[in-house]
Amino acid sequence: MINKYPYVNIYENKKKNSKLSSQILYGEKFSIIKKYRDWYKVKTEYDKYVGYIKRGKFEEYTYKPTHKVSSLKANVFSRPFKNAKIKMKLSFTSLLQIRSKKGGFLNFDKYWIQKKDVVPLNYKQKIFKNITIFKNVRYKWGGKKFDGIDCSGLVQLFYKFNNLYCPRDSGPQLKYLKKFKSIKKDSIIFWKGHVAICLSKKKLIHAYGPKKKVVIMDVKKTINLIKKTAKLEVIGIR
Residue 61: pLDDT band by 50, 70, 90 thresholds? Answer: confident
Q: Counting beta carbons within 10 angstroms of the beta carbon of residue 117, is it exposed (0 to 12), middle (13 to 18) or buried (19 or more)? A: buried
Q: How far apart are alpha carbons 46 and 167 in whole angstroms?
A: 9
The dotted CATH code for 67-120 is: 2.30.30
List, for residues 141-191, the tens digit of each pLDDT value: 999 999 999 999 999 999 999 999 999 999 999 999 999 888 999 999 999
* pTM over 0.85, yes/no: yes
Q: Which of 86, 107, 105 is nearest to 96 (CA)?
A: 107
Report the pLDDT value the prediction gives residue 181, as an integer from 0 to 100. 82
Report the pLDDT value the prediction gives residue 60, as an integer from 0 to 100. 86
Half-sphere exposure for 100 (CA within 13 Å, toward CB): 6
List, for residues 14-47, the tens digit of each pLDDT value: 998 999 999 999 999 999 999 999 999 999 999 9
Residue 71: pLDDT band by 50, 70, 90 thresholds? Answer: very high
Q: Which CATH architecture has domain 131-237?
A: Alpha-Beta Complex (3.90)
How much is the average pLDDT of 221-228? Answer: 98
Q: How far apart are alpha carbons 228 and 122 in whole angstroms?
A: 43
**Same CATH topology for 67-120 and 131-237?**
no
**Other CB atoms within 10 Å distance of the CB of residue 199:** 18
List, for residues 74-113, the tens digit of each pLDDT value: 999 999 999 999 999 999 999 999 999 999 999 999 999 9
Q: How far apart are alpha carbons 8 and 54 in whole angstroms?
A: 8
Residue spans of the domains in the chain: they are 7-54, 67-120, 131-237
Q: How far apart are alpha carbons 38 and 235 in whole angstroms?
A: 40
Dihedral sign computed on CA atoms, order 176, 179, 182, 184: negative
CB contact set of 13 (below 8 Å; sequence gap of 6+):
52
Q: Which residue type, as a one-letter code, is found at position 65?
A: P
List, for residues 109-137, the tens digit of each pLDDT value: 999 999 999 999 999 999 999 999 999 99
Q: How far apart are alpha carbons 214 and 130 in whole angstroms?
A: 14
With beta carbons less than 8 A apart as the criterion, state whether 165 and 47 touch. Answer: yes
Quick check: 62 pLDDT over 90? no
Q: Which CATH architecture has domain 7-54?
A: Roll (2.30)
